[in-house]
Amino acid sequence: MVGSSHEALHRIFQKDPALLTRALQRVLHVPFPEPREIAALNVDLTEIEPVERRVDTLLRAETDEGTYLLVVESQGKVDERKRGSWPYYLSYLYEKYRCEPVLIVITQSSATARWASRPIRLGFRDWHSLTVRPLVLGPDNVPVIADERQAERDVPLAVLSAMTHGRGPQAPAILESLASALRTIDPDSAAVFVQFVDSCLADPQAKQMWRDLMTAIQYFWRHPLAEQVREEGRIQDRQEMTLRILEWRGIPVPDAVRERVEACTDLVQLEAWAQRAVHAVDAGELFAGE
């Protein structure tokens, strides 16, 4: 189960490897040759020495022009350590597979995209021994797909659009179009895409809107994410119930009490607090004896 936007942003290319080459061709306008076959490879780049190094997603693309290794890195923020690790990844992979490596960075941040797109040059000023030029997919170049028919034509690209633009003002239109398009593909694939999008939506309103849209799609509730959503709903209900009981009884609720209740995710504990709220004479009695 995907648990973070970092994982979802590169796992989508494992789910649909051809999406990556389409993005290179259509979004970045890179004349990457049409693959005959794309296969996922082991992402572990660890050597015998006790230093673990892993890329996020590694794909091998067979084309008429040769074989390429597509190295996908999901990047949440600026990290200057990548100036060393990315060149290492590419050099190591070329030595191991003897195939040309291509580095693709995907991010939800425009600032991170600008940083990642800068060439990494190693050597001295007038003679660079090694230059790494990442290809970057981010909110400034991934298309906004807010039209239902356009989303239906390329559902994985519409998913990528939702994942990279989910925090912007166009999020509602993007999510509504994608929700409709998901009905046109097989339920198992759709359920995986639902989880990818859910993991990447940092805006609470956008995430809630997405989950509301998904309640109408029955296969969603057979996916492991559904139980997580239901659990979160039960927790929120208990939190609101506890505070509501105090307010109905005219008992003031200090900010510290409200924050503690809203931060609790233990259903048993919340149930105990709700029962105490029925008889408490002040809000602090919720936590008596704890």
Give me the pLDDT at residue 101, please: 94
User: Strand, coil or helix: what is 132?
Assistant: strand
Biggest alpha carbon–alpha carbon distance for the chain: 78
What are the tens digits of pLDDT across the range 228-246?
Answer: 656 676 788 788 888 888 8
Dihedral sign computed on CA atoms, order 218, 222, 223, 228? positive
pLDDT in tens, 170-195: 888 999 999 889 888 887 788 888 88
Q: Which residue has the higher pLDDT, 52 or 155?
A: 155
pLDDT one-digit tens code per residue, 46-98: 654 544 567 888 889 999 999 999 999 989 899 999 989 999 999 999 998 99
Nearest to 57 by CA among 99, 93, 95: 93
Short-list 188, 138, 182, 195, CA closest to 156? 182
The residue among 221 and 117 whose pLDDT is bigger is 117
| Rounded Cα gap, residues 98 and 260, in angstroms | 56
Under the banding of pLDDT at 50, 70 and 90, the label for residue 45 is low
> What confidence category does residue 216 fall into, taking pLDDT thresholds of 50, 70 and 90?
low
pLDDT of residue 147: 92
In terms of C-beta distances under 8 Å and separation of at least 24 residues, what long-range contacts does 85-90 make, across chains too? Answer: 85/53, 86/120, 86/132, 86/134, 87/120, 87/122, 87/130, 87/132, 88/53, 89/45, 89/53, 89/55, 90/132
**Arithmetic mean of pLDDT over the chain:** 83
What tens digit of pLDDT does each residue of 131-151 get?
Answer: 999 999 999 999 999 999 999
Residue with tokens 């006790």: 50
- DSSP 8-state secondary structure symbol assigned to residue 97: H
Q: Would you tell me how many other CB atoms lie within 10 Å of the CB of residue 114?
A: 14
User: How many residues would you count in the chain?
Assistant: 290
Tokens of 85: 């690790």
- Higher pLDDT pick, 121 / 290: 121
pLDDT tens figures, 5-31: 777 777 777 778 888 788 888 888 888
Angle 155-165/17-26 helices, nearest 10 degrees? Answer: 70
pLDDT at 111 over 60: yes
Please, what is the end-to-end C-alpha distance for the chain in angstroms? Answer: 35
